[in-house]
Structure 1
Amino acid sequence: MLGAAAEELDQADTARNRVKALTATVRAYEAGLAAMREGLRHVSIREAALAAELSSREAEIAQLLGVLQTLSRNTSPVLLLHPAGPVGTARSGMILADVAPALETKAAELRAKLEEARTLRTLQQAALNQLQDGLDGVQKARAALSEAVADRKDLPKRFTEDAVKTGILIASTETLEGFASGLSDIATDEAPGSLPDITARKGSLPLPAEGRVLRRAGEADAAGVTRPGIVLATRPRALVTTPTAATIRYRGPLLDYGNVMILEPQAGVLFVLAGLEVVYGAAGQVLPAGSPIGLMGGDQPSAESIVRQASDGGGSERSQTLYIEVRQGNDPQDPETWFQTAKEG
């Protein structure tokens, strides 16, 4: 997956639609790195289980090795002789014939487990270089994407934002609801019509970023505050895209939500995405589905820290949070009725 993403990045440098190509490249890198994290986690879990098993059988293994070493030091004729004479020799030979296969089976089992332990360690060492290449690649792809978005001039615009009215609206509102209700007042020269109705797609829209639901609508946070949206835990620098074609109604800082992107996929419906570090685009632009709208914050972890975290039993590193709210007719809706989410959280 990481190799394919690297090839896509090279091709995207000359692609006609660089934003679309680079968006796909960043997504491919994110998926590849996530797969490597999960693989490393499974490797570490297996290695820990194997180490614990070998440690618990230390006495048994030492005894087995002692017996095998004793057998290897003696020649076959000496082993077959017994002080009690031919009968004793026959009996000892029979016992040895019974014991030898069992010893060989145990020795083979031990060799296999030791070889597996070596293989797991080799996998972890090899993954370090591959991870570093992937992390370098996704960083390059994000930088190229930001540049391509800044250079993009071909997006249609439904309206022009009145900066003065926007400033007044921000200064005069204390809630997201109040701000959303006044969004239509900051638009000038708005074109008539709207994007197609997406009601039939409710429940099937992709989430704006790869992550898992950390808090659902109406669930209290650590401070006891409840909000009508969901909180999605994402990895640092995760790419955020629009789930469907939509008009940018607002982008920028708002209240205590950090950087906010408000999208209008159809008349009367708003998708509010808050907590981004970088936001792309301008108010009034109409974006195709899957278009990049920003990046999450945080520092990208190093390859060494990812391997170390996997060895400790982790592997998620979802330290950033994206708040997602859906408003219809300015009334909050449960986002999980609109987006595909993992119910187990």
Structure 2
Amino acid sequence: MIRAAAIVLCLAVSGTAEAQDAGERARAAAVALERAAEDLAVADRASDRVAALTDTIRAYEDGLVAMRDGLRDAAIREAGLRRDLAARETEVAELLSALQSLGRSDVTQQLLHPDGPVGAARAGMLVASVTPGLAARALALRADLEEVEDLRILQENAAETLRDGLQGVQEARAALSQAVADRTDLPQRFTEDPVKTAILIGATETLDGFASGLAEITEGETAPETGATLAKGDLALPASGQILRRAGEEDAAGVARPGIVLATAPGALVTTPAAATVRYRGPLLDYGLVIILEPRADLLFVFAGLDTVYGETGQVLPAGAPVGLMAGGAEDTSVLQPNSGGGNARPETLYIEVREGDRPVDPLDWFATDKG
């Protein structure tokens, strides 16, 4: 009994804070998704439906990411607790045996000791000093078991919340596509000449050549006046995600490009970081669907790899306006699979290039992100 008490007194309940945090993020994310659903219900009545739906989709995306991360942490925490409890099975058995032994002992038995009254007194003092430690460890064990059960229930109940969130963000994306198509209040700097654009695409083999030739297909059009105030280094990235590859880094095929590659969630919304004129939108070379924005003269933002592109060439978009969606949103159901732990689905990749004058520059000079 004394050995068991020594063991349990050495094991602190330092996991309590971690225990409380493991599920809180998932619970907070569930609340955020509920609020996003409320926002979606009122977005259709907003004076600017495009802006309202853009904000709603962002809220859904943030909530879904937080929910996945919270569920992953909860699953990791639960698995850790189960392993810990299994590894301490002998210790737990000794603890329970000691507590049961204390509970069965009556006063007469406690006074009988081979060494007489002095031995009995010493044994009583030892038991009195050990008992609080046993009780504390028993409470900690109970808390661990209750936490395992709470985390299991949390993960089971989260499936419905995630399903509703995925459905809600799909509805918001569909509504946004319709709202963008219905929009008629955007200024138009110029009208694209499709023949000249087709000739330019056919005559160029690189993004360099295409970007350099853009000015020629907008003959007579002056530098765009978007009213944009550009704070170099402080612009938000066009989509939520993590930097997968930096400028000049080679990809798996050994190809190095001057832009960065951003890993995004499937179906992620892509927005313009600043007010800008749409210089080009459509398929281009091996870049997939591309949109090229000009926030000011001699500055181009190139976003490539989209699945859907919004806007028309020549339109002037306000800052934060949607310009497209990444692929995969409709199939993003991996979080609903058993034992997924809330893990993210396979990410999509957005290529971002920034060109000043006739040359590319490091996009991280313009965008605010973790450059460490």
- The reply to whether TM is greater than 0.5 is yes
C-alpha distance in 1 between matches for 2:43 and 2:174: 13
Residue 225 to residue 306, structure 1, CA distance change in 2 (3 Å): farther
State the partner residue of 1:174. Answer: 205
Query: Post-superposition shift, 1:197?
Result: 7.3
Match status 1:22 vs 2:53: yes
TM-score normalised by length of structure 2: 0.84
C-alpha distance in 2 between matches for 1:16 and 1:324: 32
C-alpha distance in 1 between matches for 2:113 and 2:364: 82
Query: Post-superposition shift, 1:130?
Result: 1.7
8 Å CA contact retained: 1:132, 1:302:
no
Corresponding pairs, count: 338
Which of 275, 278, 285 is the equivalent residue of 1:248? 278
Match status 1:341 vs 2:369: yes
State the partner residue of 2:355. Answer: 327
Query: Post-superposition shift, 1:3?
Result: 1.8
Structure 1, 156-165 or 36-45: larger mean CA deviation: 36-45
Match status 1:66 vs 2:94: no
Query: Post-superposition shift, 1:203?
Result: 0.5
Which residues in structure 2 correspond to 1:73-112 (within 5 Å)? 74=104, 76-77=106-107, 79-80=109-110, 82=112, 84=114, 87=117, 90=121, 92-112=123-143
State the partner residue of 1:304. Answer: 336
Query: Post-superposition shift, 1:257?
Result: 0.3
AA partner of residue 89 (structure 2): E
State the partner residue of 2:19. Answer: none
Which of 256, 272, 276 is the equivalent residue of 1:226? 256
Match status 1:279 vs 2:309: yes
TM-score normalised by length of structure 1: 0.91
SS at match of 2:158: helix
SS at match of 1:201: coil
Match status 1:155 vs 2:175: no
For the aligned residue pairs, the C-alpha RMSD in angstroms reads 2.2
SS at match of 1:153: coil
Tell me, which stretches of 5 or more residues in structure 1 are unaligned? none
State the partner residue of 2:246. Answer: 216
Identical-residue share of aligned pairs (%):
59
For each residue in 1:82-115, what CA deviation from the matched residue of structure 2 results, as whole angstroms up to 9, or x when unmatched?
A: 3749636555544433333332222122112112
For each residue in 1:111-134, what CA deviation from the matched residue of structure 2 results, as whole angstroms up to 9, or x when unmatched?
A: 121122222222222322222221
Residue 79 to residue 187, structure 1, CA distance change in 2 (3 Å): farther
C-alpha distance in 1 between matches for 2:113 and 2:191: 106
Which residues in structure 2 correspond to 1:168-207 (within 5 Å)? 168-187=199-218, 190=221, 192-195=222-225, 200-207=230-237
8 Å CA contact retained: 1:128, 1:307:
no
C-alpha distance in 1 between matches for 2:141 and 2:88: 10
For each residue in 1:246-269, what CA deviation from the matched residue of structure 2 results, as whole angstroms up to 9, or x when unmatched?
A: 111111111100000011111111
For each residue in 1:231-287, what CA deviation from the matched residue of structure 2 results, as whole angstroms up to 9, or x when unmatched?
A: 001010000000001111111111100000011111111110000000011111110
State the partner residue of 1:164. Answer: 195
Query: Post-superposition shift, 1:179?
Result: 0.8
Residue 55 to residue 208, structure 1, CA distance change in 2 (3 Å): same
8 Å CA contact retained: 1:82, 1:92:
no
SS at match of 1:206: coil
Query: Post-superposition shift, 1:303?
Result: 3.5
State the partner residue of 1:265. Answer: 295
Query: Post-superposition shift, 1:194?
Result: 2.1
Which residues in structure 2 correspond to 1:121-140 (within 5 Å)? 121-140=152-171
C-alpha distance in 2 between matches for 1:11 and 1:81: 75
Structure 1, 271-280 or 76-85: larger mean CA deviation: 76-85
8 Å CA contact retained: 2:223, 2:296:
no
Tell me, which stretches of 5 or more residues in structure 2 are unaligned? 1-31
AA partner of residue 278 (structure 1): T
Residue 188 to residue 11, structure 1, CA distance change in 2 (3 Å): farther
Residue 7 to residue 342, structure 1, CA distance change in 2 (3 Å): same
